[in-house]
Structure 1
Amino acid sequence: MNDIRDRVPILPASLFGIVLGLIGLGNSWRTAHELWGLPAAIGESLMLVGGVVWTVLLLLFVTKWLFATEEALAEACHPVQCCFISLAGVATMLVAVAAQPHARPIAVIIFALGFSFTCAFALWRTGTLWQGGRSAESTTPILYLPTVAGSYVTAIACVALGFAEWGRLAFGTGVISWLAIESIIIQRLLTSPEMPSALRPTLGIQLAPPTVGAVAYLSVTAGPPDFVAYALIGYGLFQFIVLARLSRWIFAGGVTASAWSFTFGLTALATAMMKLVGRGGVGPFAVLAPAIFPLVCAMLGVLTLHTIGLLFSGRMVSQSPAKAPVTGPK
C-alpha cells in the first residue's frame, strides 16, 4: 500500500474543474457548429480530451480513497476543499453529455452514476452546512458547487438524454440555491477581512451561476429568447466585467491550475449567447456572441498551455485554493 501511495500522485478534487472547462468548450463548439457551421470535429475532439482527463482524474480520485484514505478524509472535512469533491459527479454528468450523440446507452449509465454521486454529496454537504459553525473566512463561491452546479448540469444532461421534465425540477433547485447562497457570499466579501491570495481564484466560480444557469434555462425551455434568458446573461456579463477588473488582485499569488475555476462559467457564457442567437436573439447578442466565443477559446487555449507547463514543471497543484489555509469547522 505504501508503494502505491509513493507512486501515485495525490491530487485535489478541484482539478476536476479542468474537465468542466474542456467539455464546456466542446459544447460551445457544438453550438458554434450548429449556428455558424464551424468544424464539428473541433468540438468533438475537445469532448474526447475532456473525457480522457476525466478518466485519469477519476482513477486517481478512487485510488486516493482506497490507498490514501487519511488524505481523502482530510479533504472531505476541510471547509474549502470539501465542496470541490462534488465536481467528480458534475464532471461525470458532463462526460455523459459529451457521449450522448455517439453512444446513448453508455451515456445514460454514466449520467446515472454521476447524478447519484452528485445528489448524495449535495445532501450530505448541505446537511453539514445547516448545522452551523462555519467561519466567514471559509465562505467562498465553492459553496455553489454541490447544489447549484450540480443541479444546473443535471438539468442540462437530463434534457440532452430526453428527460426534460426531470431537468426542469433540477433547474428549479439550482436557481433557488444560487439566489440563497449568493447573498451569503456577497456579505462575506463586503464585510469580512480580505481573502488570502490562494483563495481568490475561487471567485472565478462566481461567473458560473448566471451563465451555466442560462444554458440550463435554455435547455429546459423552447421558443424565442425571453426576459429570463436576457436577465441571466446580463448578470453573467456583469460578473465577467467585475472579475476582469479584479484579475490582477485575484491572481496576485500567480496563475496556477486554480484558474480553471473560471472556465466553466466562461464557456457557458459563450454557449448561452450563441444559443440565444440561434433562437432568434438580436441586438446585443448578435453583436457580442461572435466576439465572446473566440475570446473564450483564446483564454482557454492560453490556460491549457500554461497548465501543461505547470504539469511538466511539477507545480500543478501549487497555490491551489484547495491548499489555502482557512480557519473554522465545516
Structure 2
Amino acid sequence: MPQTEISVATRVPASFFGVVLGLAGLSGAWRAAHAAWDVPEAIGETLLVVAAAAWAVIAALYAMKWIRSPDAARAEADNPVQCCFIGLAGVSTLLIAQGALPFSRDAAVVLFVIGVAFTLAFALWRTGLLWHGGRSPGSTTPVLYLPMVAGGFVSGTVAAALGWPEWGQLLFGAGFFAWLAIESVLLNRLYTGEPMTPALRPTLGIQLAPPAVGAVSYLSVGPGTPDLLAHAMIGYALLQAALLIRMARWIGEQAFSASYWAFTFGATALATATIRLSGPDGGGAIATVAPVAFLLANVLVLGVAAGSLRLLLRHKFLPPAAPTATQPSAADANGSPSRGVA
C-alpha cells in the first residue's frame, strides 16, 4: 500500500465520524420534511448517499489506522477527550442502518447488529474505566455523552424503526438516565472549573444533542404524540441552542476545523423532532418552531461542510499528526493542535 495512504489513515481521528452524523442527521430531517410537508424526496436520499459514502471512507481509514499505526490509535483511545469519539463509529453505523431500511431490511438489520454491538461494547468498556476515578476535571467535556447517551438514544431509535419497540424503549431508558447523570457532572465542571481552552470549546456543540436526539428517540419508541415529555425535551434542546448562540463568539475563538461538526447532529435532530410533531401539534408552538429549526439546520450543516471542503482543498482538514499526549489542552476534539486550523 502506498506510504501516502498509510500516512493519511494514521491521521484520521475517530471524531471524523461526526461528519457522518451531521450528514445522516440532515438526511433524516429532509425525510421527515418530505413526510410532513411534501418537500422533494430526492434531497434527503442524496444526502443519505453522501453520508453513506463518508461513513465507508472514514470507517476504512480508521480501521487502517488500527492496523497500520496501532500506537497512534491506542494513544487516541487513551486520550481523555478524544477517546469518547470512538463510540461514534457504532453510532454512525446505526444511522446508516436506519437510512438503508427503506431499501433493504436485511442490510439494515446487519448494520444494526454491528452498530449496536460495537456501541454497547465500547460504552461498557469506556464507562468502566471512567468509574475507576482519577479523571482531571479539565478533561470533562460533552464528549462524555457520546458512548452511552448518543449510543442509547440512536440504538433505541433504530430498533424501533426495525419493529422492535420494546428493545428500543430499553435502549432509550439507558440513554435517558445516563444523560441526566452525566449532565450533572458536566454542568458542575462548567460552573465551577477552569474555563475551557479554545481548542476544547467546539465540543460544547455536543451539548445540544442529548435533548434533541433523545426527543427523536422518544418519539420513535413511544406513541409519537406531542405529550409533555416530548415538549419538555424539545424545550430543553431549544434552551441549549440559545445558549450556544449566545456563546458563539467565545467558542469561535478556536479557528474553524472539523471539530465544528460537533454542532450538526444535535441541530439536525432538533429539526427532525419538531418536524415530526409539527402536524400533530396542530399549528401550535412546535409547528411554529419546526420550519425555523429546519432552515437553520440546513444552513449550519452546509456551512460546516463548505468550510470543511475549503480546508480539504487546502490540505488542512486532517490533523497534522496523530495525538500522542493525554492532556486535553494540547489537542482539540479533532486531534488538531490547540492553535487550530486556519
Given the two structures, how large is their TM-score scaled by the length of structure 2? 0.92
Query: Which structure 2 residues correspond to residues 1-330 of structure 1 after superposition, within 5 A?
Result: 3=3, 5-6=6-7, 8-222=9-223, 224-318=225-319, 320-323=332-335
Give the CA deviation at 1:7.
5.8
The secondary structure found in structure 1 opposite 2:198 is coil
Give the CA deviation at 1:2.
8.8
Which digits, 9 at most, give the CA deviation of each residue in 1:24-49, with x for residues without a partner? 00000000000000001100110110
What is the rounded CA distance, in whole Å, between the counterparts of 1:247 and 1:6 in structure 2?
34
What is the rounded CA distance, in whole Å, between the counterparts of 2:311 and 2:58 in structure 1?
16
Which digits, 9 at most, give the CA deviation of each residue in 1:50-70, with x for residues without a partner? 000000000001100001000
What is the rounded CA distance, in whole Å, between the counterparts of 2:248 and 2:52 in structure 1?
29
What is the rounded CA distance, in whole Å, between the counterparts of 2:288 and 2:2 in structure 1?
57
Q: Which residue of 1 aligns with 2:324?
A: none
Kept after mapping to 2: 8 A contact 1:197/1:253: yes
Give the CA deviation at 1:280.
3.3
Give the CA deviation at 1:223.
5.1
Taking a change above 3 Å as real, the CA distance of residues 73 and 193 of structure 1, as seen in their structure-2 partners, is same
What is the rounded CA distance, in whole Å, between the counterparts of 1:281 and 1:325 in structure 2?
49
Taking a change above 3 Å as real, the CA distance of residues 184 and 193 of structure 1, as seen in their structure-2 partners, is same
Q: Which residue of 1 aligns with 2:326?
A: none
The secondary structure found in structure 1 opposite 2:195 is coil
**Which has the larger displacement, 120-129 or 246-255?**
246-255
Q: Which amino acid aligns with 1:220?
A: V
Which digits, 9 at most, give the CA deviation of each residue in 1:90-149, with x for residues without a partner? 000000001000011011001111111101000000100000010000000000000000
Give the CA deviation at 1:255.
1.8
What is the rounded CA distance, in whole Å, between the counterparts of 1:132 and 1:175 in structure 2?
22
Given the two structures, how large is their TM-score scaled by the length of structure 1? 0.95
Give the CA deviation at 1:288.
1.3
Q: Which amino acid aligns with 1:225?
A: P
Residue ranges of structure 1 left out of the alignment (5+ in a row) = none
Residue ranges of structure 2 left out of the alignment (5+ in a row) = 320-330
Kept after mapping to 1: 8 A contact 2:9/2:62: no
What is the rounded CA distance, in whole Å, between the counterparts of 2:147 and 2:116 in structure 1?
11
What is the rounded CA distance, in whole Å, between the counterparts of 2:226 and 2:244 in structure 1?
26
What is the rounded CA distance, in whole Å, between the counterparts of 1:258 and 1:185 in structure 2?
19
Kept after mapping to 1: 8 A contact 2:10/2:62: no
Give the CA deviation at 1:279.
2.6
Give the CA deviation at 1:8.
4.0
Q: Which amino acid aligns with 1:186?
A: L
The secondary structure found in structure 2 opposite 1:321 is coil
Give the CA deviation at 1:283.
1.6
Give the CA deviation at 1:324.
6.6
CA RMSD of aligned residues (A): 1.6
What is the rounded CA distance, in whole Å, between the counterparts of 2:35 and 2:95 in structure 1?
19
Figure out how many residues of one structure are paired with residues of the other and give that number.
Answer: 326
**Which has the larger displacement, 283-292 or 72-81?**
283-292
Which digits, 9 at most, give the CA deviation of each residue in 1:262-306, with x for residues without a partner? 100000000000111133353211111112211211221111111
What is the rounded CA distance, in whole Å, between the counterparts of 1:223 and 1:114 in structure 2?
24
The secondary structure found in structure 2 opposite 1:323 is coil
Which digits, 9 at most, give the CA deviation of each residue in 1:157-211, with x for residues without a partner? 1011111110000000001000000010001011111101000000000000000
Q: Which amino acid aligns with 2:171?
A: A
What is the rounded CA distance, in whole Å, between the counterparts of 1:2 and 1:106 in structure 2?
32
Which digits, 9 at most, give the CA deviation of each residue in 1:62-94, with x for residues without a partner? 100001000000011110010000000000000
The secondary structure found in structure 2 opposite 1:198 is helix
